[in-house]
Structure 1
Amino acid sequence: MQEDFLHYLWKHKKIHITHLKTVLGETVVIKNVGTHNFNSGPDFFNAQLIIGDQLWAGNVEIHVKSSDWFLHNHEIDNAYNNVILHVVWEHDTEVFREDNSPIATLQIKDFVDDALIKSYSALFNGQNKWINCENEFSSVNEFVLANWKERLYFERLEQKAGVIDELLTQSKNDWEAVLFKMLLKNFGLKVNGEAFFSLANSLDFAVVRKLQNNVETLEALLFGQAGLLDADVQEPYFLKLVNEYSLIKTKFKLNNVGVLPIQFFRLRPSNFPTIRLSQFANLCFLHQNLFSKIIEIKSIDGFYKLFKVETSGFWKTHYTFQKESKPSTKSISKSFIDLLLINTIIPLKFCYAKHLGVNIQDEILSLVTSIKSENNSIISKFNSLKSVSNSALDSQALIHLKTNYCNTNLCLKCAVGNVFLNNKLLNNKT
């Protein structure tokens, strides 16, 4: 038995509430279960209960066994002096407050349907399952699932906002600098994301600002910091960048000691770091004050236009410095822009609005639902259970669901898990 299940039973009143009695035989009437507390202190704040003939207002603490009260030293913690009811699965000892006054105890296992306990056990005892409820997932109501995915998506945005806040602190609230770091990381995709992020962290953004008026200088800066100018290559453009980087490095006292190695292995030529860095340099050159432009744009087409950027001229006939290739225009694709929107642009807009105290939920929803669903192993598996991912909102929500709920067995805090338990309970009662 887990405390999370007991929290679920109490919070949702999944007990025989008309027959409740303490272990001493006093009737218990629940007027208000209280507010679930996810931080330190009692589990439910500001509950209202009638115990015997007395109306009580205070907190409720929940344990598997009564003796857990002493195991957690609550008897000497004044934060628990206002506990009015101790809810336990198994009562094995009397408990007391700091002043030695006794606390009423409700042994909850006496008031729970066996069918609900069996449903709970079935949910968590599935062996070799990808997710606990995979056999029932297809039957989940569309309305419930749609609302749950929207909530999950904004949970994921809040999670990303926490990362952005840390970057803001590091950059002394320079939103343009934060955008630079986040965008550069995402230009590296999975293979070079961390390497590109380390590259961004190796630079003071003030240096980038000073060099933004010349795309070749920006390329020299990025390629040099990435360690891509260390090879023995006699190509004229390469040598030009080497000379330019040498001047920049001396002038701004740069080093790239902490920059992670750049990878070409298992990448399509269009995703080579040379191509992505050139595109990124062009983006910085063409759109100075990029952050303010991003905040102003509301439509998906506006972003497609803003990020429709090509490489510099040299890279139209090259993928690497060493070898010439067939001429081609290497511009940023819509699918790549979608990834930038999902991972950088929308989270930044969301976080910036939060800092201003402005609600842009409708704008966020309009943008993310106009982007196609991502395609990865998590999304493919969910879609094999039920066709559930049609937009980036869906795919981001499902990634969050699998990572933060399914993988950690937080089924009781999941709308799908709750549906499963309720349906099992109803089926067993009929």
Structure 2
Amino acid sequence: MKEEFLHYLWKFKKFETLNLKTTQNEPVTIIKTGDYLGLSGPDFFNAQIIIGKQKWAGNVEIHLKSSDWYVHGHESDIAYENVILHVVWEHDTAIFRVDNTEISVLVLKDYVSLEILNNYEHLTKPKSWIPCEREIARIDEFVFKNWLERIFFERLERKSELVFSLLKEKNQDWEAVLFCLLAKNFGLNINGDSFFQVAKSIPFSIVRKEGFETENLEALFFGISGLLDTEKEDVYFTDLQIRYFYLISKYQLPKVYIDPLQFFKLRPDNFPTIRLSQLAALYKKHQNLFTAIIEVKSIKKVYELFAVSSTLYWQNHYQFDKESPKKVKTVSKSFIDLIILNTIIPLQFAYAEKRGEFISEDLIDFMKEVAPEKNSIIDKFESFGVVSNSAFDTQALLQLKKEYCNQNACLKCAIGIELLKGN
């Protein structure tokens, strides 16, 4: 039994509310259960309850046992002076306020049905992957879809935290924020942090000025990331090195330490050399990329914006000094889909929020155009009968798994609450 289950019972009145009595045999009538804010202090604020013949307005505290009042030190905490009712599962001792007046106690287990208890026990019993894996496919479609929409925006809010942090760091320059986010996502999971460090170390004004020549941007990106630190016979390498030394001298860029870029375990098309070259090509192609991204309304237009390839040298190279069969290395649609999920949608969401605009429906429609992600988590949900039709579904399911299923937070989840209701 967890205390959050008692919170659920009290909040939604999932118990017999007629003929309630305190441990001192006083009748209890609940007018208002109070507001659960999840803050420090009592569990429910501004409740209204009639105890005996007296109407009370104040707070409600909930514990598994009455003695938990003393275990948590509430008897000496003035924040609990306005508690009008102590709701518990088991009563094992009388409790008192600082002024030594006794607080009325309601024992909840005397009024909860066996069906709800059985549903709770079944839901919280350890399972192989998620608590509701046998029932999730049977959840009412309206409840399920509404819950996915809510947690999809929870995930967006979490992702937008980085946007707002960067916005403050970059003096409200949205173009600079976009550059950092794109760099991070071009690096994927393996090199994302290093690419992010590179982008943050370059004032975006320099990218604007040097964006008319792809090789200059490549020189900056490669040089700062440490890819030009060695000596090679390669002519293109030497050219980039000369450009890099000139640019850092021109702009007085300080030497920064960047976590070494990784090639191991990456497919060649995801090598950092290729991705940095494509990022340089993108900023050569678009001088006002942020405006274009904020205004884009269709996935087809996004594919057009990101239709770039690495420079000529990288058509027959993956690394310096190592020639390979010729291949034009364009940014693939599947890679652009990742950019949409991790950069474009969070940026549009944060920008709208900053301006006080409501674009939720537009974002959902946009996400439903993007193909569903393919990974082990989404495959597992599908094995339980939850099929994803778009990236909107997969993003919501990833949030569900990480923030609810993995945390055993069934009582904060609409699916868990629906299952507690039973038939």
With the shorter chain as reference, the TM-score category is over 0.9
Provide, for residues 50-95 of structure 1, a one-character-per-residue CA deviation record: whole Å limited to 9, x for no partner. Answer: 2222222222111111222222222332222222211111122222
SS at match of 1:158: helix
Q: Which residue number corresponds to residue 301 of structure 2?
A: 302
SS at match of 2:159: helix
Q: Which residue number corresponds to residue 147 of structure 2?
A: 148
* Counterpart Cα distance in 1 of 2:95 and 2:286: 66
* Counterpart Cα distance in 2 of 1:76 and 1:369: 54
Shift of 1:246: 1.1
TM-score by length of 1: 0.94
Shift of 1:165: 1.8
* Counterpart Cα distance in 2 of 1:39 and 1:84: 18
Shift of 1:272: 1.4
Over the aligned positions, Cα root-mean-square deviation in angstroms equals 1.6
Q: Which residue number corresponds to residue 402 of structure 2?
A: 403
TM-score by length of 2: 0.96
Mean CA deviation greater in 275-284 or 324-333: 324-333
Mean CA deviation greater in 289-298 or 252-261: 252-261
Shift of 1:255: 4.6
* Counterpart Cα distance in 2 of 1:266 and 1:419: 43
* Counterpart Cα distance in 2 of 1:273 and 1:262: 7
- Sort the Cα spacing of 1:80 and 1:67 in 2 relative to 1 into closer, same or farther, 3 A: same
Shift of 1:236: 1.4
SS at match of 2:60: strand
4+ residue stretches of structure 1 with deviation over 6 A? none
* Counterpart Cα distance in 2 of 1:144 and 1:176: 39
Shift of 1:416: 1.5
> Does 2:224 match 1:220?
no
Shift of 1:15: 0.8
Mean CA deviation greater in 385-394 or 256-265: 256-265
Please tell me the residue identity of whatever aligns with 1:235. D
Mapping of residues 39-118 of structure 1, within 5 Å: 39-118=39-118
Shift of 1:256: 5.1
Q: Is the contact between residue 202 and residue 258 of structure 1 (CA under 8 Å) also seen in structure 2?
A: no
Mean CA deviation greater in 362-371 or 141-150: 141-150
Shift of 1:101: 2.9
Shift of 1:170: 2.0
* Counterpart Cα distance in 2 of 1:231 and 1:305: 36
Q: Which residue number corresponds to residue 343 of structure 2?
A: 344
> Does 2:19 match 1:19?
yes
Mean CA deviation greater in 405-414 or 157-166: 157-166
- Sort the Cα spacing of 1:119 and 1:387 in 2 relative to 1 into closer, same or farther, 3 A: closer
Provide, for residues 151-170 of structure 1, a one-character-per-residue CA deviation record: whole Å limited to 9, x for no partner. Answer: 11011011112222222222
Shift of 1:362: 1.2
Shift of 1:304: 1.4
Structure 2: tracts of 5 or more residues without a match: none
> Does 2:14 match 1:9?
no
Q: Is the contact between residue 199 and residue 260 of structure 1 (CA under 8 Å) also seen in structure 2?
A: no
* Counterpart Cα distance in 1 of 2:306 and 2:342: 14
Shift of 1:45: 1.6
* Counterpart Cα distance in 1 of 2:71 and 2:125: 28
Please tell me the residue identity of whatever aligns with 1:97. R
Q: Which residue number corresponds to residue 136 of structure 1?
A: 135
* Counterpart Cα distance in 2 of 1:395 and 1:165: 24
SS at match of 1:17: coil
Please tell me the residue identity of whatever aligns with 1:153. F
* Counterpart Cα distance in 1 of 2:294 and 2:97: 54
Shift of 1:254: 3.2
SS at match of 2:319: coil
Q: Which residue number corresponds to residue 165 of structure 2?
A: 166
* Counterpart Cα distance in 1 of 2:7 and 2:387: 29
Provide, for residues 335-365 of structure 1, a one-character-per-residue CA deviation record: whole Å limited to 9, x for no partner. Answer: 1111101011100110111111110111111
Please tell me the residue identity of whatever aligns with 1:279. Q
